[in-house]
Structure 1
Amino acid sequence: MGVKGLQQFVDRCCPEACVAVDLRDMARQHAARTTDHTTSPTLVVDGMACLRHWYSCKDWVCGGQWREYIEALKSWVESFTSAGIRLVFFFDGVIEEKKRREWVKRRHRVNGEMCKLFRHIKTSGQQPGRDLFILPSGLATFTPFALRSLGQEVFCTVQEADFEIARYARHHGSMGILGQDSDFIIYDSAPYLSMAKLQIDSLTTVLYDRQRLCRSIGMSVNQLPLLACLLGNDVVSEERMQHIRNNAMATYRKMHPASLSGSQQGQMLLAVSQFVSSLWGQEEEETRLIPQSLNLSDPDREFLERGVCSYLLPGQEALQLGDSFPFGSAFEKYVSLEILKACREKHIAAEGFMVYSVVCEGVVECSNTVEDDEDNELLPQALVYKSCRQHIYSLLLQPRHDGSVVEPPAIREWFVYPGNPLNKPELVHPVAVSLPCDQPSLDLLWFSTGPEVSALRLACFFSVFDCQEFSELYGAIDDSLLAALCLVTYIALQVPALSLEDVDAYLSQAVCLRLKSPQELQQIKLPFLSSRAVQLGSLYVRGLSHLLGANSASGCPLPSAALLPWHSFDGRLFHSKYLLAHSSTEDTVLLDSDSACLSLFLHLRDKLTEACRRRSRVLQSRPNPQTRYRDRHTGGGESLREATGCHQSRGGWQERWEARQDQREYENQEHMWERGGHRGRGMRGDQHSHPHSYPYGNDGGLQNMSPPHKQSRGRSYRSKGRYRLAPRWSQPPAPGI
């Protein structure tokens, strides 16, 4: 996040501190200086700063072109490894509370950009330019898994990411830090290399030389932490030290009346640097963090000292940040020390998701999702998956069986969605999963072995999504398709506006994706974009992260790789299937004229509709007439105003959400919706009502009011005869319309 205005000042006003470097030459020189010839020169990479550069795929608004993204990452990594440079990646693993205010400000700013994005799509039917570029939902979550699949070393932080990156680089004598954060100028660590100026073909970039910077602004390097805090950073807010900057600026203008041209920010930085260098008038004060001559109140001085200390790495002076577990004693009532250690280890190794935040921090956050603030039909993803998260919390924080009754604690959620002002966290209470036995302890799920435990892990995983009957499909279909079926079924149960056509789009793209190369996916043509399809794509990807969380909490009954988006989702492919499904396209065409794909698709759809029928959820056919739009004179889509669906609601989603809390999802259905020949399917859904109701609870999720489905604990979920896709007998037609 960095120091206010410092990066811009160095780039624009201090060319002598911007040194062009060849990373191959740097690596050779670094290897010649080191005594350890067994390890290649290491470059520490700030992964979060690289996401916007890594994701260069054309269609970013549709939910992510994940297979193309994997190929781009692979090529990027190979550029370094072929030059003999070892890469170590770091990703933000926590958001420290001292930075929460800044995090909230950024989330509100992105919300404003999201509104512009959807207005553009609904007005033009096209993706906007890069000026409105927003990262696909979940990119920061899944990129560490992608890099690990490419054999890279990846770490997820448990403290401030910049601090951990600088500490690692200093401790291991790394050749440099590749990122885009001016905090790396302040840390006394490895050389700071610009990601923004990296030319990947030539492996050249710019090195920001902190020694040259200090010479140009007339101060010493040990004064940089104080300069950073007075200018404003993520620890010391810009507003807190405004009075000091104002005084420094007034003094600077008196002393330099003839040099007031240039940017206001540049003048401010020079004024504050001159002020800082003037504070140390005596040699004995050089060792002080905050000179006594700086007139501050006791609270401000203490606050400023904390900010300066945050830049000091192990082995340097002053107070150091410890490595102790950041959880309170309350959590010891719910998990063992072994679980705490396992959570931390998995989190640091980027092998888990959500569990560390819940067990060790008691807080979960989710950044902006690509969803429309003005949409009156689709629910925000934060509410769609709330019921799922409550079940995950229950699995993770079940009181240990010591005879005492302890109420599990509420988890503090910071989720960005329309209507949430983010003034404070929402307190979300765990809700127990429905199992035929007592809920197992986390130690049993994570550390025990045997067929009964394996079956229990699987039962817990599916119970999180209220899809217990899908356990019988384990081993019969590929794990990635099983996960996709589970997720789409959960979405269908939670989102009343989801139609048959939406389900068909989800399932058909998951089935067809398995046979498509990244090159084929890039060749798909989209005549126009549907804002509703954009939201549904992001909703699915966010759901995959919840699958990861449920899988981790349940003891990993499924391999994590099966839950990653490049195995079950492509934004462009999904968008094309959505347009086809809502245009009354035959099933055969929807499945690329592949008989094996069609058979598997029909099997999955039958399982989904049966699961919905058991819960009194009747899926309706609601084709979107806007998907049939095509202007022969303009080429299609130039003046499209995309609707959000056939049925427009009278009020917003919040009003409808509250109105449905005490109602059944679909009451007193007079007749089943019939397609009347739509894709040749005839009657859809089920003509029998279910005796149990599933009303909406206070949390907005569908609450299971029926008795749990009975399952024997020793049951084997692996059956004979897997569904396998036969080779394509012909080249399918182009998926675009």
Structure 2
Amino acid sequence: MGVKGLQQFVDHICPAVKVWVDLKEMAEQYQRSHPECSPVVAVDTMACLRYWYTPEAWVHGGQWREYLDSLKRFVNAFSTAGIGLVFFFDGVIEQKKRDEWIKRRLRCNLEIAKIFQYIKANACQPGTEMFFIPSGLATFTRFALKSMGLNIKCSLQEADYEVANYARLNECMAILSQDTDFLIYDTVPYLSITKLSLEKLSTVMYSRGKLCHSLNLRMADLPLLACLLGNDTVPENTVDRLKYRCLDEYLPNGRTARQRKQIVAAVAHYICNVDHSHSGLREVKRNLPCHSDESLLEKGVESYILPGQSSPWLPRNKISPVTQQCEMPTCLNHRILQFAREKHIKAESSMVYKVLIKGEVDCSNTLEDELDADLPGQGIIYRPARQSIYGILLSAEPNAQPDSARLYPTVKEWFVYPGNLLQQPDLVLALPPELPGGIPDLQTLWLTEGPAVEKLRYRMFLACFGLQDFVQEFLHLELPSTAVVCCLLLYMTLQVTTLCVEDLDAYLAQVVCIRDKPADHLAQIQVPHVDSRAVHLASLFVRGLSVLIAANSACGFPFKMVGLMPWEVFDGKLFHAKYLQSHNGCTMEDLLEKNDILVHEFQKMKFLINTVCAGKNRILQSKPRPLAPVRDRPDPHGGGSHHNFQRAQPTHHPRYQGRYPQPGWTNSAQAAFLFISGRRSQPRPGSYNK
């Protein structure tokens, strides 16, 4: 997640570190010096998602076919120049990064609160300064790139470390990212994704050599510099006192504003005057707070040392860290764990491996309105389904005890949802679905073939969503994608009692209408105004697709993954348009674009959902929510309206710079502010749903 202050230093104080490069010329030079290799760029994917998502609309749940086209343009630009790409995804969050992860998630809560406040005030999408990537973008990007036949890798440990090590060992041409940690690793050249011009295929290369020259440091000193500035291993508050002492010595008469800009240079000057050895590191430790972990600096420096490398700041007998392997639980079959590991690395299954190896999963922020009491957060809605998935993975053992005598294992969940302050993980029981004969073992589900097993996988998948008694009804659906969408919508309808007929009609209409629409057609859809509830519902659906993927993986892939992808079954603007039509009393014919084939498919899916719901005593009610015409909506620049809307505050206003909690902010947003500002609050009653 980067070195504190280093990017600003490079951008504003030492621009010589930035060197513009033409990637075609760089590839040609690489080819001349490596005639036996083809130029390959290792891509830090998580740093690139914001750059890749180019559709103008982002608040409606994602313009997935447009996004797919954007990814294809990116890949084609490099392949045309003869440059290969290998994409790395974060596979796990290491314990040392959990606190930083939590702080980021809570900051995102503040951003989401502002977004919904703006939507309710203005009935339109906020400007780009409030841009928030669609939910699940990282998950679905893995499958999008895999569908193009590209090389995808999901990390088993710290992703930055794996990228740096892979690029070095495989003599890659460069690393593409936007993370100053890559200025610290002694690896291949580091290129900027934010400065990349696809048309010219040029970007900025950050030169480690020039950075060292400007700071009078050796390459081996950069890891210590990163630690003393503050990074993911060494918290900034641990080194703050030392940094300001360095400033006082470096600029004894400097003004505060100038001092802040010179922190990097001041710390580098301090390092130059310390004995470059492990004993010198001990001297540095003495300047840290007495309560800090004595091994913290060593761990921080060590985290940048790749296999086969050494550091003068570490003991001579200190072996550089090798790629860590998670300990495999002895209670599980080795073939099963190896299978899960391989699927994880290939980015075909993420949750499964983390549950089996660590018993811990996490999920980032979702565009959800905490003030809408009718709609729970996705972390709560999908918990029963996740519990079934955990139960299949952790309880599917031969000769298991009867349910009445069993102690079910728990999984640690770090899920962002309204009211959760993330002060500790939720401990969630792994509860297998109730099936006659019990749960089959993973050997059967994953590694056995045959018609009987295929039927079992299908039934297990439906069982994750409480629908195991309706296998025959689902088999009557012609398309696999239709079956999985009906499964998801049925689950949502049963879990969220406030979903109404109009909501279901909007979901189903967009599912059947999207099939033959190309990306450019979807891009031209005009949404008259933005409704906050529709934004929330869109995010719930997309997050549900992620749960379908996890269930599919756990059950041995009864469905092809392509049928679970959002670009096959969902488009944000199309759903939003259907939602507005449905709630304003649009006829079925108009909702389905006067297409008899679509009407027939719509009715078939809706009949199945209504039938299953009736069997479970869930009767959908009509509850239209008429929306105010656009002319009655308030002018975002100050126009009045007889409707009771609050004016949005300008995003450049000082109140929006994180200085104070805002009027109308949700409880989670208030708590996020207090946490980030160092005034961490106690959890309110009911914050945790164990």
1:558 corresponds to: 559
1:273 corresponds to: 268
Report the Cα offset of residue 253 of structure 1. Answer: 2.1
Judge conservation of contact 1:353–1:548 (CA < 8 Å) in 2: no
Report the Cα offset of residue 229 of structure 1. Answer: 0.4
SS of residue matched to 2:449: coil
Judge conservation of contact 2:426–2:689 (CA < 8 Å) in 1: no
Q: Which amino acid aligns with 2:519?
A: P
Q: Which amino acid aligns with 1:210?
A: R
Please give the per-residue CA displacement for 1:636-669, whole angstroms capped at 9, x wherever unaligned. 99878699xxxxxxxx999xxxxxxxxxxxxxxx
The TM-score normalised by the length of structure 2 is 0.88
Q: Which amino acid aligns with 2:492?
A: I
Establish whether residue 450 from structure 1 lines up as the match of residue 450 from structure 2. yes
Please give the per-residue CA displacement for 1:547-598, whole angstroms capped at 9, x wherever unaligned. 0000000000000111010010000000011011111111111111111110
1:668 corresponds to: none
Question: In the superposition, relative to structure 1, how do residues 441 and 123 fare at CA in structure 2: closer, same or farther (>3 Å)?
Answer: same
2:309 corresponds to: 316
Report the Cα offset of residue 700 of structure 1. Answer: 8.4
1:670 corresponds to: none
Establish whether residue 373 from structure 1 lines up as the match of residue 366 from structure 2. no
Percentage of pairs with the same residue: 43
Judge conservation of contact 1:166–1:189 (CA < 8 Å) in 2: yes
Report the Cα offset of residue 289 of structure 1. Answer: 8.1
Judge conservation of contact 2:396–2:442 (CA < 8 Å) in 1: no
**Counterparts in 2 of 1:171-320, with a 5 A limit?**
171-254=169-252, 257=253, 260=255, 263-280=258-275, 285-286=276-277, 290=281, 292=283, 295=286, 300-317=293-310, 318-320=318-320
Structure 2: distance between partners of 1:175 and 1:642:
58
SS of residue matched to 1:240: helix
Question: In the superposition, relative to structure 1, how do residues 31 and 262 fare at CA in structure 2: closer, same or farther (>3 Å)?
Answer: farther
2:623 corresponds to: 622
**Counterparts in 2 of 1:349-498, with a 5 A limit?**
349-398=346-395, 400-402=397-399, 407-472=407-472, 473-474=474-475, 476-498=477-499
Please give the per-residue CA displacement for 1:108-134, whole angstroms capped at 9, x wherever unaligned. 111001011001111110000011110
Judge conservation of contact 1:279–1:291 (CA < 8 Å) in 2: no
The TM-score normalised by the length of structure 1 is 0.83
Judge conservation of contact 1:435–1:459 (CA < 8 Å) in 2: no
Structure 1: distance between partners of 2:141 and 2:6:
28
Q: Which amino acid aligns with 1:366?
A: C
Report the Cα offset of residue 248 of structure 1. Answer: 1.2
Q: Which amino acid aligns with 1:171?
A: L
Question: In the superposition, relative to structure 1, how do residues 597 and 221 fare at CA in structure 2: closer, same or farther (>3 Å)?
Answer: same
Judge conservation of contact 1:390–1:431 (CA < 8 Å) in 2: yes
Judge conservation of contact 1:410–1:427 (CA < 8 Å) in 2: yes
Structure 2: distance between partners of 1:636 and 1:586:
32
Judge conservation of contact 1:396–1:442 (CA < 8 Å) in 2: yes
Q: Which amino acid aligns with 1:276?
A: I
Structure 1: distance between partners of 2:249 and 2:504:
66
Report the Cα offset of residue 287 of structure 1. Answer: 7.1
Q: Which amino acid aligns with 2:271?
A: V
**Counterparts in 2 of 1:159-178, with a 5 A limit?**
159-178=157-176
Structure 2: distance between partners of 1:635 and 1:128:
13
Q: Which amino acid aligns with 2:4?
A: K
2:654 corresponds to: none
Judge conservation of contact 1:411–1:428 (CA < 8 Å) in 2: yes
Q: Which has the higher contact order (CA 8 A, sep 6+)?
A: 2
Structure 1: distance between partners of 2:320 and 2:406:
36
Structure 2: distance between partners of 1:609 and 1:204:
55
Report the Cα offset of residue 437 of structure 1. Answer: 2.5
Question: In the superposition, relative to structure 1, how do residues 139 and 522 fare at CA in structure 2: closer, same or farther (>3 Å)?
Answer: same
For structure 1, the 5+ residue unaligned runs are 644-651, 655-698, 702-737
Question: In the superposition, relative to structure 1, how do residues 505 and 482 fare at CA in structure 2: closer, same or farther (>3 Å)?
Answer: same
1:674 corresponds to: none
Report the Cα offset of residue 106 of structure 1. Answer: 0.6
1:68 corresponds to: 66
Structure 2: distance between partners of 1:355 and 1:300:
34
Judge conservation of contact 2:153–2:346 (CA < 8 Å) in 1: yes
Judge conservation of contact 1:363–1:412 (CA < 8 Å) in 2: yes
Structure 2: distance between partners of 1:427 and 1:403:
22
Structure 1: distance between partners of 2:282 and 2:273:
10
Judge conservation of contact 1:125–1:639 (CA < 8 Å) in 2: no
Structure 2: distance between partners of 1:275 and 1:100:
30
Establish whether residue 43 from structure 1 lines up as the match of residue 38 from structure 2. no
Q: After the TM superposition, which of the residue ranges 632-641 and 499-508 deviates more from structure 2?
A: 632-641
Question: In the superposition, relative to structure 1, how do residues 609 and 424 fare at CA in structure 2: closer, same or farther (>3 Å)?
Answer: same
Q: Which amino acid aligns with 1:570?
A: D
1:528 corresponds to: 529
Q: Which amino acid aligns with 1:378?
A: L
Structure 1: distance between partners of 2:279 and 2:168:
23
Judge conservation of contact 1:378–1:653 (CA < 8 Å) in 2: no
Please give the per-residue CA displacement for 1:305-342, whole angstroms capped at 9, x wherever unaligned. 0010000001112433344542464xx33x31111111
SS of residue matched to 1:313: coil
Question: In the superposition, relative to structure 1, how do residues 315 and 475 fare at CA in structure 2: closer, same or farther (>3 Å)?
Answer: farther
Judge conservation of contact 2:91–2:350 (CA < 8 Å) in 1: no
1:545 corresponds to: 546
Q: Which amino acid aligns with 1:197?
A: K
Structure 2: distance between partners of 1:571 and 1:540:
10
Report the Cα offset of residue 361 of structure 1. Answer: 1.3
Counterpart among 79, 86, 89 of residue 87 in structure 2: 89
Report the Cα offset of residue 150 of structure 1. Answer: 1.2
Judge conservation of contact 1:178–1:195 (CA < 8 Å) in 2: yes
Judge conservation of contact 1:121–1:642 (CA < 8 Å) in 2: no
SS of residue matched to 1:219: coil
Q: Which amino acid aligns with 1:396?
A: L
Equivalent pairs counted in the alignment come to 637
Report the Cα offset of residue 419 of structure 1. Answer: 0.6
SS of residue matched to 1:413: strand
SS of residue matched to 2:176: strand
Report the Cα offset of residue 518 of structure 1. Answer: 0.8
| Max Rg structure | 1
The CA RMSD over aligned residues, in Å, is 2.4
Q: Which amino acid aligns with 1:49?
A: A
For structure 2, the 5+ residue unaligned runs are 311-317, 646-665, 669-687
Structure 2: distance between partners of 1:636 and 1:174:
49
Question: In the superposition, relative to structure 1, how do residues 458 and 263 fare at CA in structure 2: closer, same or farther (>3 Å)?
Answer: farther
Question: In the superposition, relative to structure 1, how do residues 261 and 16 fare at CA in structure 2: closer, same or farther (>3 Å)?
Answer: farther
1:711 corresponds to: none
Establish whether residue 591 from structure 1 lines up as the match of residue 589 from structure 2. no
Judge conservation of contact 1:392–1:430 (CA < 8 Å) in 2: yes
